[in-house]
Chains A and B, each alone.
With several copies, the nearest count.
Chain A
């Protein structure tokens, strides 16, 4: 796993400034360490532990999905690249992998997980994209040069105010 902290501007297309970049092997066992690394980097710019929990969860869901779906047929531990940039109160996380594209080249929408009367019929999976949609501010996806490039933006990262607080 490679990780480095960038203090300088990446100046890609807007005011987003580099926070960190890393890559990991595309297998389940590498995800935990990657999350620890991401959280350590993010904690330098985000003091709100609930927000850090949210971002960690979204990164976990995204990486698990890439490993279990996009890279499922691959035997070579194809790498996943993560880069994180910041623009004021927003952070943007870009995930890049060389796996198969999303069905219809579109990421799944927010699943409606309603009240479940019959415990027996409760699904045992499929909650991942629901969580990503709930917690992220913005999600975009492009397929470039046989790579998936998924960008997830979070707001309220550097402010102290947390989600539980009602706008009054």
Chain B
């Protein structure tokens, strides 16, 4: 599970470089994000624009990350492709997370 991160003063962007967040990588994803966000500022934007498949294990890993970061830090999601956006809506996770269609829309709104 490859990630990259860029940190500014008030926010950190974590980009998922793999195209699937599924049962095979959910644990690794959770651990890697935990490490990379260790010293993160108040807002963490998870850039999912490369991801085209997420299953319930991947969803669970994102929920776990959000809970781990709370309450000091907020996790928001950006760049959801259509199939990923669909899974968030079907599970009503769109009422739990702030979802931005692109990273630049998230940055514009949060900076």
Contacts and interface: CB of A to CB of B under 8 A. Distances in A.
Asked if A and B form a direct contact in the complex, defined as CB atoms under 8 angstroms apart, the reply is yes
* Majority DSSP secondary structure for residues of A touching B: helix
B94 A49 contact: yes
A124 B64 contact: yes
B90 A60 contact: no
A79 interface: no
A64 B94 contact: no
A7 interface: no
Interface in A20-43: 28-29, 31-32
B60 interface: yes
Contacts of B96: 116, 119, 122
A164 B87 CA distance: 10
Given A57-B55, A127-B60, A128-B56, A68 B95 contact: no
B24 A29 contact: yes
Interface stretch (A95-103, A130-138, A140-148): A130-138
A165 to B, nearest CB: 6
A33 to B, nearest CB: 10
A134 to B, nearest CB: 5
Given A31-B24, A49-B99, A56-B53, A127 B94 contact: no
B70 A119 contact: yes
B87 A115 contact: no
B22 A32 contact: yes
A53 B91 contact: no
Nearest to A58: B55
B74 to A, nearest CB: 9
Interface string B71-90: 10000000000110011011
B67 interface: yes
A113 interface: yes
Given A49-B99, A127-B56, A127-B60, A31 B23 contact: yes
25 contacts: A31-B23, A31-B24, A32-B22, A48-B95, A50-B89, A53-B86, A54-B86, A56-B53, A57-B53, A57-B55, A64-B22, A64-B55, A64-B56, A64-B57, A67-B23, A113-B92, A115-B95, A119-B70, A119-B96, A123-B60, A125-B57, A126-B56, A131-B87, A134-B90, A160-B95
Interface of A: 28-29, 31-32, 47-50, 53-54, 56-57, 60-61, 64, 67-68, 113-116, 119-120, 122-128, 130-131, 134-135, 160-162, 164-165
Q: Which 9 A-B pairs have the closest CB atoms?
A: A127-B56, A128-B56, A124-B60, A53-B83, A64-B23, A60-B55, A124-B64, A125-B60, A160-B95
